[in-house]
Structure 1
């Protein structure tokens, strides 16, 4: 049967799932608005030509040990102002510069101005971003009056830093998979939206290679419209080097008021959600894991999904469910995260895909800039 009305029941579906998790969503913050102000310049001393000190600047500096939640708790007013420059005095004609204010922020924060202009992307702990300049001290060019510092309202948006992002609808088994391939112990339960905040685990390989994997809050249809956890999920996907799709072989239904989607339709919908949010996400390397093959009749479903994806078959798929561009999976692997089946093959595929992509990019860089 052909199913239509892709987004017609989203509000009701999202409400059903979110009601069960609303009380547990208070522990994670991935966006925060703050006010920053550079220090004012000190007053000059025109009689003796004394120059006031410049106001201090405001900087943002990443920290691996800080979260936006902790930043908000530590600075509840969310207002940060650098020190005012010293006035020129008869016994000290050159006023000293005001102290800078360095605000610690989580590693992986994007900084936007009030008009949504990107000021900076803080992904390395050695980064330091100037966000508000201090005012000039009083001197002959400004009539000896110290100038006010810059004032800005900034939006901080955290994007998780991880090599791999797990992409899938709720209850696809992403948390179970993460617990099996890493030392992370995420919350696992048989209802949607168990994962309320990103969980990051690490795959440890025998040769000491390490690859980080982020289990992100489950998508739902309409995520690109910011339905459900929408942009909270999709924002984090942007940072990853590889997308690991995890799909339930038995299909997916968020609630009794939602459409049922079989495994193949689920893959297409995940593909479309990424495409509608930011099309360039489809250029990332990707691996598909069809999960729960321990259940009856799922092997047949796995083979059908694999065959149709390889053929690019969109027969009987409603137009509104069809992505413009089908994502190319480097591997399609059947697994049972619960029983550890296929896990070794999957983690090997993840590594090979990432390594091959990094080597390809390095070759392109060398070709573009030969020495």
Structure 2
């Protein structure tokens, strides 16, 4: 059996062929059965790797419709073929056209329509099914997405705040694949948190982990920026960036990928507050953030964001050494998620009432006209 790498897989290309329509029966006016359609359907506990392991050739074909026969005038329609995919999958054609998304269990997207059965319309010849090359693109769905450069302490935080056990080490790029943990509260409430591969400068242009990281940020409800109070240096050939510079460059990376990301609620966590002179560095950061616009204008143009992220809270923390700071962060995440969830539900209720009112007015007017 072919062996597969166990690294996280978030894209998969498949070749799909729907079923051909069955042949008609011109002598008796019989109609052939319709060929099977092919759908992708969101299922829990499914992964793209399981799809690959189930069908290493990556070719999926639906059955053909039954032919019309002397004693069965209408040919039997073929069963549809269902490809189980993870929740949060976007389905694209090779030309990059989006066919649809499956964001909840049971959501389905038609990817190849079966051919029509033979009839008088097509001279009783069953029609070919559609042949498509599709791309499955997984975007993790989580309440909170951790955003930060390598070695900022995201994995350490996830271990401290949830039941996840990501690899932790004192060198960059420890996290090479997304990890999701669940932060649990005493009343049973849970918040899902995604620790994603660290950004580097140029990720928006697909350098480093690039889009492999950034696509997963799109479906999170809240962004948690995690920065090292001491700043960050990717390697000896790269400049050392202060914590303020890191915040601005992270802002720019998200903006260049999609400015919509900056509309999401965001919290800034300043990590490693157990280090020497951390309090002084934090004071300098808070002062810089109050003058963020002026400071960012002094950056080279390629690092200067057009739109600055607005942080709803700035929280100093030591994910490794201060449990109380982690617990405080955990509670704030829940509070802010609940606040925005309530706002969203209220907005939906207002829009629903407005639509119902308009519908009633239209109905009343139509009655009067009659």
Fold in common (TM above 0.5): yes
Contact 2:43 2:106 in 1 (8 A): no
Secondary structure of 1:369 counterpart:
helix
For 1:306 and 1:117, the matched residues in 2 are separated by: 44
C-alpha displacement of 1:45: 0.8
338, 357, 362: which one aligns with 2:320: 338
Query: So what's the TM-score if we normalise by structure 2?
Result: 0.91
Residue 266 of structure 1 is matched in structure 2 by: 246
Residue 350 of structure 2 is matched in structure 1 by: 367
Residues 265-274 or 69-78, more deviating: 69-78
Residue 299 of structure 2 is matched in structure 1 by: 317
Residue 84 of structure 2 is matched in structure 1 by: 104
Contact 1:162 1:239 in 2 (8 A): yes
For 2:88 and 2:322, the matched residues in 1 are separated by: 32
Contact 2:21 2:128 in 1 (8 A): yes
For 1:363 and 1:90, the matched residues in 2 are separated by: 62
For 2:311 and 2:251, the matched residues in 1 are separated by: 11
For 1:314 and 1:188, the matched residues in 2 are separated by: 36
Structure 1: which 4+ aligned runs deviate by more than 4 Å?
none
**1:237 corresponds to 2:217:** yes
Secondary structure of 1:241 counterpart:
strand
For 1:85 and 1:320, the matched residues in 2 are separated by: 58
Residue 331 of structure 2 is matched in structure 1 by: 348
Contact 2:18 2:38 in 1 (8 A): yes
Q: 1:208 to 1:26 in 2, by over 3 A?
A: closer
**1:329 corresponds to 2:311:** yes
For 2:280 and 2:55, the matched residues in 1 are separated by: 55
For 2:6 and 2:106, the matched residues in 1 are separated by: 30
Residue 108 of structure 2 is matched in structure 1 by: 128
Aligned alpha-carbon RMSD (Å): 1.3
60, 80, 86: which one aligns with 1:80: 60
Report matched runs for 1:239-258 at 5 Å. Answer: 239-258=219-238
Gaps of 5+ in 1: 1-24
For 1:304 and 1:348, the matched residues in 2 are separated by: 26
Report matched runs for 1:1-371 at 5 Å. Answer: 27-315=7-295, 316-341=298-323, 342-370=325-353
Residues 74-83 or 354-363, more deviating: 354-363
Residue 17 of structure 1 is matched in structure 2 by: none
For 1:294 and 1:337, the matched residues in 2 are separated by: 9
Contact 1:224 1:231 in 2 (8 A): yes
Deviations 1:159-181 (A, max 9, x none): 01110000000000000000000
Residue 18 of structure 1 is matched in structure 2 by: none
C-alpha displacement of 1:313: 4.4
Deviations 1:50-87 (A, max 9, x none): 11101011011112212112211221111111100011
Residues 195-204 or 357-366, more deviating: 357-366
For 1:216 and 1:176, the matched residues in 2 are separated by: 12
Tell me how many residue pairs correspond in the alignment: 347
Gaps of 5+ in 2: 357-370
Higher relative contact order (CA 8 A, sep 6+): 1
For 2:29 and 2:350, the matched residues in 1 are separated by: 58
Contact 2:21 2:34 in 1 (8 A): yes
For 2:222 and 2:89, the matched residues in 1 are separated by: 20
C-alpha displacement of 1:121: 0.9
Contact 2:293 2:308 in 1 (8 A): no
C-alpha displacement of 1:146: 0.1
Deviations 1:273-293 (A, max 9, x none): 000000000000000100001
Contact 1:27 1:69 in 2 (8 A): no
Residues 227-236 or 114-123, more deviating: 114-123
